Structure 1
Amino acid sequence: MRHSWTPRSPRRAVTAAVAAAVLLPLSACGGGDDGGSTDASGKVEGKITFQTWNLKANFKSYFEGVIDDFEKEYPGTEVRWVDQPGEGYADKISADAAAGTLPDVVNVSPDLVAPLAKAGLALDLDKAAAKYEKEYLPGAWKSHQVPGTRGTYAFPWYLNTGPLFYNKRLFEEAGLDADKPPKTYDELFDAGLEIAKKSKGDIATLANVPTIEDFGRYGVPLMNKEGTGFTFNDAKGVELLTRYKKLYDAKALDAQALTATPESTGKKFLTEAVAMNPGSALDLEKFKKDAPGLYKNIGITPQISNTGKDNMYVMGVMVNTRTKQTPAAVAFAHFVTDAQRQMSFAKKVAIFPSTKGSLDDPYFTKPDGTDETRVRIAAAKSLKTAVNYTPVLFSEQMKVELRNAVAKALQGKQSPKEALDNAVKACDRLLQQS
């Protein structure tokens, strides 16, 4: 699979395995122009189409097995599985929605479900499938709710998150306690400035500029409750960006952070030029092989947060309101995302189930001495209380506006307040156009 997640972006993977295999936003075809019933209580029967995003290459047998099991459990059903290439998936959903050819069952990220919900194309599960809510983690169930509307518009599917790696040697050389890494932003900024000072600017602590998730973890209110405007330019937001500017000026934030990619920041950490970086179990294996000096000094710590809650990346499975087989579409969407199927899928790729109790399984709690399990346990623990900080109405264009504003502030071209005010204005304009 082309898409992936890291703690820096919902589109980046916590692992390269996920990068190669995981972001499966799904969709299924079958709904036409005629609206179907929103009543899911009828007999589960008929044909539906289930469309995945670039998955057959890696998970063909898994999904064929899921479909076979569903058709056996519900005689008289038939699930047609279609797999689409990864490029242009969001555009395809938009085109299908406009043409009335949106699939019956659609795997969506929260930002993709929002416009479909507002257009009346995403089935409200609070009305059609409320009995299933208790099966999922509360934070996951809420992740597909849209400000300004009432309802939940997708079953939670798999989750992802990731810890931070830090270089114990660099902390020790700066006179810091390597066994007590920063957990809050106050501690992070203090440590960053100290490391930069002791290294005379040679060692940065971070290689990434703040994203909307950082503003959320800092405790900044990101959007009003009505979903009509963004608020990350409030005093707390300005405070965060001002503190990042101080890091940047002190060389505690890497000079190339403005143009950094996950690959470039990973290389900086690998070469011990930065002290902290988001990572995964596969990174540990890479360190072990390519940078044994770094590997022996690796520390693992939760994401930096002032709220006590990590960021959660979540995918979901949506039912098209225009499907002509509502009971079958709802039943299949639930089937794909139930505890048994999620647990099975999680053991095939580095993702985490959104179902209650699944993260208590020994697979996510019992150490076995391997690096992969070490990271998996740390991530699973944080997910029980994690939230999706990125507003569902915060589009890719809006992320670009925020990134550009952050760059202007760090470079001194605008004050942090002016930069964030302009970003909010731009994002509000985009919001009104959507």
Structure 2
Amino acid sequence: MRTSMRRSRSAATATIALASALALAACGAPDGSGGADSASGKVEGQVVFQTWNLKANFKDYFEGLIADFEQKYPDAKVKWVDQPAEGYPEKLSADAAGGTLPDVVNVSPDLAYPLAKAGMALDLEKSAGKYRGEYLDGAWKSNEMPGMKGVYAFPWYLNTGPMFYNKELFRQAGLDPAKPPTTYDQLFRDAKSMAEKSGRKMAMLASTPSIEDFGRYGVRLMNPQGTEFTFNEPKGVELLQHYKELYEAGALDSQALTAKAESAGRKFQQQAVAMNPGSALDLENFRKEAPSLYKNIGITDAVNNTGKANMYVQGLMVNAQSEVKPAAVAFAHFVTDKKNQMAFAKEVTIFPSTKGSLDDPYFTEQDGTDATRVRVASAKSLENAVNYTPVLLSDQMKTVLRNAVARAVQGKQSPKAALDGAVAECNRLLKTG
């Protein structure tokens, strides 16, 4: 369930940055301040709360949550609206342009960015900064926006992806299955060794690097001001050169240049590649559909050079133009407090963004089930995780990078020239979008 939940959102999340820029331009204050100082006062009035594709599976949870809030604050009421994943960014854009944006809105950081720029998102550093200490530092900072001061959504639930690997394929390649790669240097060494040992019949990976990989490698993705992409710096070129060498050595699956996440997953399930990211749902599928793979499954953190895993984050934004700001802030905080995040985490495979929650036995103790194996492994890496994907990176920019990577890996262009061209085009889109 969690995999489909994340994928449905990730397919849409980046599209709003370009699609809504013009529509939002006339909405609210250009500095993004949005009247933050007016958020104090009595908690009263009706709060319109909008989620993103959650009602079908979690109706009872949210209705109970709302009832608890209304009991705590008798003068406040909450109207819950749930929107489908399809077209959610466009819906936000239309509501913002039309002045009908709900009081509390479920957003990811890239969805919050154009709203914050247009003055539609309340700066919570100003209006709710007293709550900052309740949340993991990386989660709170994930809702900072490039070129702006402040934080524009309460952190809500988190996720991260463990890496699965095939212990038997590691053994066949003479690699220690108890010591999977933890750094990129080790990954590159092991991948080449596997390809060589198998006569180029076995590849370690089935996908080329995305922006997230550049971040985990230690590449500086944007300048400090958040005004230009910089992933063509020498370290970025170095990473792409390594992938070019993997492809030449047969250590990167031949279909990696065109593969999507789903096809890379199938390659792993068919035991055609040795490593692939996944989730608890994938592990259960392996048990049912690929028992020979399942008995050899290893679980580890995704490789990185930074010591920090990647964090997927959802948040709750408060509409800066809401007429019930005190109640909206109180409700957004209530939904995201430690108690209620923990309760939601037991409904679905997500992780709380509140400090101390990941120390709970639910996230630290094994019980022998598949879901727990992945939950414990993932929770362990989230304490200091960060969101590597820049909020300004649109789907169009991701395509530009993906095409540049493919050209470099195939040897059609040098890694430096490919990344220089990609950065130039992404920066052009950033200025004109």
Task: State whether TM-score is above 0.5.
Answer: yes
Corresponding position of 1:389: 388
Q: Which residue of 2 aligns with 1:302?
A: 301
One-letter amino acid of the structure 2 residue matched with residue 55 of structure 1:
L
Normalized against structure 2, the TM-score is what? 0.92
Structure 2 residue aligned with 1:155: 154
**Aligned residue number for residue 168 of structure 2:** 169
Query: Which residue in the other structure is 1:117 paired with?
Result: 116
Cα separation, 2, equivalents of 1:274 and 1:419: 27
User: CA deviation digits over 1:24-81, x for unaligned, max 9?
Assistant: xxxxxxxx98977642220000012111222221111111111111111101111111
> Following the alignment from structure 1 to structure 2, what is the Cα–Cα distance between the partners of residues 5 and 79?
26
The answer on whether the counterparts of 1:38 and 1:123 sit within 8 Å (CA) in structure 2 is no
Q: Give the distance between the partners of 1:429 and 1:317, measured in 2 at CA.
A: 31
State how far apart, in whole Å, the 2-side matches of 1:211 and 1:313 are.
Answer: 15
Q: Is the 8 A contact 2:35 2:122 kept in 1?
A: no
Distance 2:36 2:173 in 1: 64
Question: Which residue of structure 2 lines up, in the alignment, with residue 67 of structure 1?
Answer: 66
Amino acid at match of 2:208: V
Q: How does 1:43-54 map to 2 (within 5 A)?
A: 43-54=42-53
1:42 aligns to what? 41
User: For the Cα contact (< 8 Å) 1:123–1:319, is it kept in 2?
Assistant: yes
Q: In 2, distance between residues paired with 1:318 and 1:3? A: 23
Question: 1:262: which partner in 2?
Answer: 261
Q: Distance in 1 between matches of 2:360 and 2:353?
A: 13
Partner of residue 412, structure 2:
413
Q: By how many angstroms is 1:147 displaced?
A: 1.6
Code of the residue aligned with 1:230 in structure 2: it is F
Corresponding residue for residue 22 of structure 2: none
- The ranges of structure 1 where at least 4 consecutive aligned residues each deviate by more than 6 angstroms after the TM superposition are 32-37
Q: Determine the C-alpha separation between the residues in 2 that align with 1:85 and 1:154.
A: 21
The corresponding residue for 1:233 is: 232
Q: Which residue of 2 aligns with 1:244?
A: 243
Q: Secondary structure at the match of 1:258?
A: coil
Cα shift at 1:113 = 0.9
Question: What residue in structure 2 maps to residue 379 of structure 1?
Answer: 378
- Take 1:386 and 1:411, find their aligned partners in 2: how far apart are those partners? 32
Corresponding residue number in structure 2 for 1:24:
none
Distance 1:36 1:3, change over 3 A: farther
1:216-267 CA-to-partner distances (Å, cap 9, x unmatched) read 0000000001111000000000000010011111121111112212221111
Shift of 1:212: 0.5
CA shift digits 1:83-105 (9 cap, x unpaired): 22221111111122222221111
Residues in 2 aligned to 1:37 and 1:387: alpha-carbon distance in whole angstroms:
26
- Residue 278 of structure 1: aligned partner: 277
**Number of the residue aligned with 1:29:** none
Q: Are 1:134 and 2:129 an aligned pair?
A: no
What is aligned with 1:404? 403
Asked if the contact 1:36–1:323 (Cα under 8 Å) also holds between the matched residues in 2, the reply is no
Answer whether contact 2:28 2:120 (CA < 8 A) is retained: no
**Aligned twin of 1:4:** 5
Instruction: Please state how far the C-alpha of 1:433 moved relative to its aligned partner.
Output: 2.5
User: 2:219: which partner in 1?
Assistant: 220
Helix, strand or coil at the partner of 2:384: coil
Q: How does 1:317-396 map to 2 (within 5 A)?
A: 317-396=316-395
Which amino acid is 2:6 matched to? W
Q: Report the CA distance shift for 1:247/1:10 in structure 2 as closer, same or farther (over 3 A).
A: farther
Instruction: Say if 1:146 and 1:41 are closer, same or farther in 2 by CA, change over 3 A.
Output: same
Residues 192 and 204, structure 1, Cα contact 8 Å, conserved in 2: yes
Question: After superposition, what is the alpha-carbon deviation per residue over 1:10-29, rounded to whole angstroms, capped at 9, x for unaligned?
Answer: 727xxxxxxxxxxxxxxxxx
The structure-2 alpha-carbon separation of the partners of 1:108 and 1:401, relative to structure 1 and needing over 3 Å to count, comes to same
Distance in 2 of aligned mates of 1:379 and 1:118: 33
How far apart are 1:4 and its partner, in Å?
Answer: 3.4
The separation in 2 between residues aligned to 1:3 and 1:104, in whole angstroms, is 27
Q: Which runs of 5+ in 1 are unaligned?
A: 13-31
Q: How far 1:291 sits from its partner (Å)?
A: 1.7
**Which residue identity is paired with 1:415?**
S
User: Do the aligned residues in 1 keep the contact of 2:104 with 2:317 (CA within 8 Å)?
Assistant: yes
Tell me what 2:421 maps to. Answer: 422
Q: Please tell me the residue identity of whatever aligns with 1:4.
A: M
Q: Supply the AA of the counterpart residue of 1:183.
A: T
Deviation track 1:311-343 (CA, whole Å, cap 9, x = no partner) reads: 001011000110011100100111111111110
Name the counterpart of 2:194. 195
Report if aligned partners of 1:10, 1:313 keep a CA contact under 8 Å in 2: no
CA distance in 2, matches of 1:71, 1:195: 59
Residue of structure 1 in register with 2:76 after alignment:
77
Q: Distance in 2 between matches of 1:425 and 1:352?
A: 37
Partner of 1:18: none
Asked whether 1:433 is paired with 2:414, we answer no
Question: 3-state SS of the aligned residue for 1:39?
Answer: helix
Cα drift, residue 197 of structure 1: 0.8
SS of structure 2 residue aligned to 1:157: strand
SS at match of 1:372: helix
Amino acid at match of 2:416: K
Letter in 1 for 2:305: N
* Matched residue type, 1:322: Q
Give the secondary-structure state (helix, strand or coil) at the position aligned to 1:181.
coil
* Cα contact 2:36–2:124 (8 A) shared by 1: no
Please give the alpha-carbon distance, in whole angstroms, between the structure 2 residues aligned to 1:3 and 1:432.
Answer: 33
SS in 1 for 2:257: helix
Q: How many residues align?
A: 413
Equivalent residue for 2:16?
none
CA–CA distance in structure 1, aligned partners of residues 359 and 409 of structure 2? 42
Structure 1 residue 111, shift from structure 2 partner: 0.7
Identity of aligned residues (%): 68
Q: Distance in 2 between matches of 1:281 and 1:84?
A: 26
1:84-141 Cα shifts (integer Å, max 9, x gaps): 2221111111122222221111111111111111111111000000010000000000
Secondary structure of 2:43's counterpart equals: coil
**CA gap 1:10/1:216 in 2 versus in 1, 3 angstroms:** farther
Tell me if the contact between 2:181 and 2:303 (Cα under 8 Å) persists in the aligned partners: yes
Secondary structure at the counterpart of residue 38 of structure 2: coil
Is 1:156–1:315's contact at 8 Å kept on the other side of the alignment? yes
AA in 1 matched with 2:411: G
